[in-house]
């Protein structure tokens, strides 16, 4: 999707109003509700000059503009530090090739441009921005934009996620995976219990009980108790339940 100069100007002017979209040190940067609200407000304004624009279009375009800006800024700053100039005293420092160069200076407060020197001179840019985040938006059942993201973000007014002091990388909750596994196991146990109860009621209603069946049931129960692994026992129970359900369906 192509963007005109006017559309890009409107986008940058609106983006600058919402630091939560590009300033990582702001409290709301990791708050997906605040970010989505800001993007929707920007979308409403940009739609006046680009009616078909979506939230995802806005994010992609801004990231593209920002990448170009940071590349040009590194070249420009490096040439100024090197004291570029010709013998006549004229300024021959690097001239940025993008027309929106000065419009994006508001990002510099949140970016660090540094030069690293080794056997080859290299320039490294560290920009605290949203590029590392891969968040997409979908339309919900009621036509409301919803964010689909792997990142857990607190609602408005909640404390922001913590950052590791050693490497500055954002970390997920360490017990998240364990909690999810516990929930899955609990659901399986609950499902197995409900199925057994249903089978028991069905057998009672049909007066389907005799000495041989009761003896076999006790035998199975005794063997199950000898399985000390919870995971293995759950798997065996699921297989037994599956066989019983299959048999009941064939008889009905």
Give the pLDDT confidence score for residue 225 in this predicted structure. Answer: 85
What phi, psi does 216 have (nearest 5°)?
A: -65, -40
| Residue 64 pLDDT greater than 70, yes or no | yes
Last residue of a domain, one of 71, 88, 107: 107
Tell me if 196 is assigned to some domain: no
Residue 2 tokens, joined: 């192509």
Residue 195 tokens, joined: 């199925």
Q: Find the helix or strand (DSSP H, E) in which 211 lies.
A: helix 211-225
**Dihedral over Cα of 131, 172, 16, 75: its sign:** negative
Q: Yes or no: say if 54 and 83 are a contact pair by the CB < 8 Å rule.
A: no
Tell me if 182 is assigned to some domain: no
- Taking CA atoms, 135 is separated from 31, 66, 196, 219, in Å, by 12, 17, 43, 54
Residue 116 tokens, joined: 């690293």
Tell me if 163 is assigned to some domain: no
Domain count, the chain: 2
Q: Within the chain, how many helices (H) and strands (E) appear?
A: 6, 4
pTM across the whole model:
0.45
Tell me if 170 is assigned to some domain: no
Q: Name the residue with higher pLDDT: 155 or 137.
A: 155
Tell me if 164 is assigned to some domain: no
Where does the pLDDT of residue 24 fall: very low under 50, low under 70, confident under 90, or very high at 90 and above?
A: confident
Place of tokens 């997906």: 32
Where helices occur in the chain by DSSP H, the ranges are 5-15, 32-46, 55-81, 176-205, 211-225, 230-251
Tell me if 172 is assigned to some domain: no
Dump pLDDT digits (tens) for 205-241.
Answer: 555 456 777 788 888 888 888 888 877 877 888 788 8
Tell me if 59 is assigned to some domain: yes
Question: How many residues does the structure list for the chain?
Answer: 252
Domain that holds residue 222: 212-251
Dump pLDDT digits (tens) for 93-143.
Answer: 789 999 999 999 898 887 655 444 333 334 444 454 444 443 444 444 443
Give the pLDDT confidence score for residue 123 in this predicted structure. Answer: 41
| Residue 175 pLDDT greater than 50, yes or no | yes
Tell me if 57 is assigned to some domain: yes
Place of tokens 């036509």: 143
């Amino acid at each position: 999707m192509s963007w005109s100069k006017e559309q890009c100007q409107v986008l940058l002017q609106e983006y600058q109003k919402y630091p939560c979209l590009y300033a990582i040190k702001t409290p709301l940067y990791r708050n997906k509700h605040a970010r989505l609200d800001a993007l929707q407000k920007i979308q409403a304004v940009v739609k006046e000059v680009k009616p078909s624009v979506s939230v995802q279009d806005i994010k992609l375009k801004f990231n593209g503009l920002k990448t170009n800006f940071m590349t040009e800024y590194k070249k420009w700053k490096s040439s100024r530090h090197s004291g570029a100039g010709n013998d006549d005293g004229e300024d021959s420092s690097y001239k940025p090739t993008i027309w929106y160069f000065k419009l994006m200076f508001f990002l510099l407060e949140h970016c660090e441009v540094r030069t690293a020197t080794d056997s080859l001179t290299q320039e490294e840019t560290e920009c605290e921005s949203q590029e590392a985040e891969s968040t997409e938006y979908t339309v919900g059942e009621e036509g409301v934009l919803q964010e689909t993201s792997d990142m857990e973000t607190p609602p408005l007014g909640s404390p922001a996620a913590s950052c590791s002091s050693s490497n500055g990388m954002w970390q997920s909750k360490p017990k998240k995976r364990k909690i999810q596994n516990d929930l899955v196991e609990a659901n399986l146990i609950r499902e197995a219990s409900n199925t057994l109860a249903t089978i028991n009621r069905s057998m009672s209603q049909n007066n389907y009980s005799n000495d041989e069946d009761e003896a076999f049931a006790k035998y199975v129960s005794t063997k199950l108790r000898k399985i000390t692994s919870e995971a293995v026992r759950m798997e065996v129970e699921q297989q037994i339940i599956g066989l019983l359900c299959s048999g009941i369906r064939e008889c009905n």
